[in-house]
A and B are shown apart, each in its own frame.
Chain A
Amino acid sequence: MTHSLRFRDALREAMIEEMDRDDRVFLMGEEVGHYQGAYKVSEGMLAKFGPRRVIDTPIAEAGFAGVGIGAAIVGLRPIVEFMTWNFSAVAFDQILNNAAKMRQMSGGQLDCPIVFRGPNASARQVGSQHSHAMEHFYAHVPGLKVVAPAFPDDAKGLLKSAIRDDNPVLVMESETLYGVKGDVPEGDVLVPLGKARIARQGTHVTIAAYSRMTHVALEAAALLESEGIAAEVIDLRSLRPLDENTLVASVERTHRLVVVHEGWPYGGVGAEVVDRVQRLAFDALAAPILRVATLDVPMPYSANLELACIPQPERVAAAVRRVVGEF
């Protein structure tokens, strides 16, 4: 059974189901309670669960991220919402040095089952400090898991898996996706961490993307179809662990790959995908792998410049034309 939900409702449904199932799960963050969520993801949850389990925090990201970690190491399963991932930068030390290393420092004695979630990457014209794609920083860190769903069903299924995971899991959402609707399974349907999804089948080229860029990749694929190019779109969904098998199998069919993500081109998830595919599928490749990323500058405010910086369907299509034609 499915029902049609917006992305934000799917996330809420996941949290509510998990909190109904397990008293150790609670939600904490700025404006998650009385304000009903900065982006209304947690709307109604305070009324349903009360202030013991839906906890408004002061503006103290390092503090409440740390509180979540402390609660997790003694057996609770916190969901910590960052109003946006941008603000996690002031809690970076907590995530990097405490959440990610807890199990290692304690020689495997203490687990840290915590979920950090919130909207990530660009919104619309919010300027350089509010447009960061933070997944690149976090996916670098052993001890963390990072997921970035593009569709409501995955948002629900991945968040439920994240909450049940015994490791710290970072869920990257997108403000621009919160209103996107889709069919979502009712009840206890989990999406495993570390499994990509083929969002569209094609034979000439593979486009790998995640989060909002999956939608951009699909738009690019639609553009290319009219030119006779059949693009396969792989929605990575999970960045760490990364589903290299699905990527390699696709590239073995299409022989060409373009990777699309928000965030700067230097290093990052795209570079990681390129490394894996060139190592694991070198013989299958008929062209160099190209990346389409946010331009290598702080995000500008002006609408035209912002559009130019963030990958758009036309820029993705242009990269595809190069790998299909020029090489």
Chain B
Amino acid sequence: MRILLPMPTAPPLAPPALVPPERTTAPAQGAPPPPAGFDVEHLAALYRQMLLIRRVEEESARAYAEGKIGGFLHLYIGQEAVAVGAIAALRPDDYVITTYRDHGIALAKGMSVRALLAELFGKVTGCSKGLGGSMHMFDKEHHMLGGYGIVGGHIPLAAGVAFASKYRADDKVTLCFFGEGAVSIGGFHEGLGLAALWKLPIVFICENNEYAMGTPLSRSMSVEDVSLKALGYGMDRDRFFADDVLEVEHRISEAVQRAREHGTPTLVEVRTYRFRGHSMSDPAKYRTQAELDEHKKRDPLVHTREILAKAGVADARFAEIESGVEAEVADARKFAAESAEPGLDVLASSTYSGPFAY
């Protein structure tokens, strides 16, 4: 017989600081009317960034198939509105840190396509001199503090970056991106716990793209709502879909403002979807074509384009944006292909600052 224990008496729960807007069904077809008073030029700029990321990723996939890129390659296609919207909410001197799925985030933070593609090609002109590859996009100048390959391992680091901002009172904010797969590992909990305890200026952005490799959230977590994890840390939380880049920017801005003005962290769950497999070697057989098609109807690029068109942006303007992006990608690809490979001389000097410690 099962004995039911009385529920322990607990102090009444304070309501969550932010009530997550639940949307469990797909949005109605077609773009909603553009938000009142949005700036068309700003949205056009965000659209260009998203398109650039999409095209760089497509080009990377092609180069991978040609054998020009080795190792792991995790594409960002489908998730562009997260990086672009979130980073639009930042100042240039704010910090960003993320996982191995880092191309889109690096580009949104200001890395040049040249530096990115050259890194993928393993060339010395790459952002990390060809030593890092796809998973390790670092750009110190743009405060892009890298992509990291151990799931959850960078989350405490992100808290440390925010700790440094608090220590120096420099009013910078750190954005830390990770997948929903990271929510099960200790680094997530230790990083969030310390950030909440010490009131650090940071926004944790969980890009919930529904799968960790082939594992859907329902098979890895006991609750469906990732943002609930914030409650145990007394942390503010938010949760929304990333179809609309302006919505992402707006919602992340609120969290960024909280971080900057009050020095408090937020956990934000952004619901998104990746259109490709986990990496180039994954044919994504764990999901159906119908499911993928359904999500593609909510492609953030298509959605944004519709809003812009409705707001009066002409075809000629789109053509101009597209040709600009194509030219940038073609130039970067040529640059990457023609750049030199790193020499053995970079090995020792990049391992230690100063003399090699042997």
Chain A interface (Cβ < 8 Å from any Cβ of B): 26, 52, 57-58, 60, 62-76, 90, 93-94, 97-98, 103-111, 113, 142-145, 165-167, 193-194, 240-242
Report whether A62 and B350 are in contact in the complex, using a CB–CB cutoff of 8 Å. Answer: no
Report whether A98 and B157 are in contact in the complex, using a CB–CB cutoff of 8 Å. Answer: yes
The residue among A60, A75, A105, A145 with the most chain B CB atoms within 10 A of its own CB is: A105
Residue B186 at the chain A interface, CB threshold 8 Å = yes
Q: Say how far B136's CB is from chain A's closest CB, in angstroms.
A: 4
> How far is A26 from B168 in the complex, measured between Cα atoms in Å?
12
- Given A76-B164, A107-B130, A166-B354: 10 more A-B contacts, CB < 8 Å: A58-B197, A64-B156, A66-B159, A66-B191, A74-B145, A76-B167, A103-B351, A106-B138, A108-B349, A145-B352
Report whether A107 and B138 are in contact in the complex, using a CB–CB cutoff of 8 Å. Answer: yes
> How far is A142 from B351 in the complex, measured between Cα atoms in Å?
7
> How far is A107 from B342 in the complex, measured between Cα atoms in Å?
11
Q: Say how far B173's CB is from chain A's closest CB, in angstroms.
A: 13
CB contact between A74 and one of B95, B131, B358 (< 8 Å): that residue: B95
> How far is A142 from B347 in the complex, measured between Cα atoms in Å?
11
Q: Knowing A63-B193, A73-B161 are in contact, say whether A94-B351 is a contact too (CB < 8 A).
A: no
* Chain B residues with CB under 8 A of A52: 167
Report whether B193 and A60 are in contact in the complex, using a CB–CB cutoff of 8 Å. Answer: yes
**Top 3 A-B pairs, shortest CB-CB distance:** A70-B160, A66-B156, A63-B190
Report whether B153 and A103 are in contact in the complex, using a CB–CB cutoff of 8 Å. Answer: no
Q: Knowing A103-B352, A106-B138 are in contact, say whether A65-B156 is a contact too (CB < 8 A).
A: yes
> How far is A193 from B358 in the complex, measured between Cα atoms in Å?
11
Q: Knowing A60-B194, A105-B138 are in contact, say whether A66-B160 is a contact too (CB < 8 A).
A: yes
Report whether A93 and B161 are in contact in the complex, using a CB–CB cutoff of 8 Å. Answer: no
Report whether A107 and B161 are in contact in the complex, using a CB–CB cutoff of 8 Å. Answer: no
CB contact between B350 and one of A90, A103, A242 (< 8 Å): that residue: A103
Number of B residues, CB within 8 Å of A: 51
Report whether A240 and B145 are in contact in the complex, using a CB–CB cutoff of 8 Å. Answer: no
Report whether A108 and B350 are in contact in the complex, using a CB–CB cutoff of 8 Å. Answer: yes
Q: Which residue of B lies closest to A109 (CB)?
A: B140
Report whether A69 and B157 are in contact in the complex, using a CB–CB cutoff of 8 Å. Answer: yes
* Chain B residues with CB under 8 A of A64: 156, 190, 194
Stretch from B121-129, B280-288, B299-307, B308-316 contacting the other chain: B121-129
Q: Knowing A58-B194, A106-B146, A107-B350 are in contact, say whether A67-B357 is a contact too (CB < 8 A).
A: no
Report whether A74 and B193 are in contact in the complex, using a CB–CB cutoff of 8 Å. Answer: no
* Chain B residues with CB under 8 A of A108: 129, 346, 349-350
* Chain A residues with CB under 8 A of B155: 66
* Chain B residues with CB under 8 A of A67: 156-157, 159-160, 163, 191, 194
A-contact bits for B174-197, CB 8 A (1 contact / 0 none): 000000000000110011011001
Q: Say how far B105's CB is from chain A's closest CB, in angstroms.
A: 15
Chain B interface (Cβ < 8 Å from any Cβ of A): 95, 97, 126-132, 136, 138-140, 145-146, 148-150, 153-165, 167-168, 186-187, 190-191, 193-194, 197, 346, 349-358
Report whether A62 and B128 are in contact in the complex, using a CB–CB cutoff of 8 Å. Answer: no
Report whether A105 and B146 are in contact in the complex, using a CB–CB cutoff of 8 Å. Answer: yes
Report whether A110 and B145 are in contact in the complex, using a CB–CB cutoff of 8 Å. Answer: yes
> How far is A103 from B190 in the complex, measured between Cα atoms in Å?
24
* Chain A residues with CB under 8 A of B154: 66, 98
Report whether B153 and A66 are in contact in the complex, using a CB–CB cutoff of 8 Å. Answer: yes
CB contact between B164 and one of A58, A66, A74, A105 (< 8 Å): that residue: A74
Q: Say how far B140's CB is from chain A's closest CB, in angstroms.
A: 4
CB contact between B194 and one of A63, A73, A90 (< 8 Å): that residue: A63
> How far is A266 from B284 in the complex, measured between Cα atoms in Å?
44
Q: Which residue of A lies closest to B190 (CB)?
A: A63
The residue among A65, A72, A93 with the most chain B CB atoms within 10 A of its own CB is: A93
The residue among B95, B148, B197, B351 with the most chain A CB atoms within 10 A of its own CB is: B351
Q: Say how far A161's CB is from chain B's closest CB, in angstroms.
A: 12
Q: Knowing A69-B157, A145-B357 are in contact, say whether A93-B150 is a contact too (CB < 8 A).
A: yes
> How far is A90 from B159 in the complex, measured between Cα atoms in Å?
18
Q: Knowing A107-B126, A107-B138 are in contact, say whether A94-B156 is a contact too (CB < 8 A).
A: yes
CB contact between A69 and one of B126, B160, B350 (< 8 Å): that residue: B160
CB contact between A97 and one of B150, B165, B193, B358 (< 8 Å): that residue: B150
> How far is A90 from B148 in the complex, measured between Cα atoms in Å?
18
Q: Which residue of A lies closest to B127 (CB)?
A: A107
* Chain B residues with CB under 8 A of A74: 95, 145, 161, 164-165
Q: Say how far A44's CB is from chain B's closest CB, in angstroms.
A: 21
Report whether B161 and A70 are in contact in the complex, using a CB–CB cutoff of 8 Å. Answer: yes
CB contact between B160 and one of A71, A97, A145 (< 8 Å): that residue: A71
Q: Which residue of A lies closest to B161 (CB)?
A: A70
Q: Say how far B120's CB is from chain A's closest CB, in angstroms.
A: 13
CB contact between A62 and one of B148, B162, B186, B355 (< 8 Å): that residue: B186
Report whether A70 and B351 are in contact in the complex, using a CB–CB cutoff of 8 Å. Answer: no
* Chain B residues with CB under 8 A of A113: 353
Q: Which residue of A lies closest to B129 (CB)?
A: A107
* Chain A residues with CB under 8 A of B349: 108
CB pairs A–B below 8 angstroms (6 shown): A66-B160, A105-B136, A106-B136, A108-B129, A110-B138, A166-B353
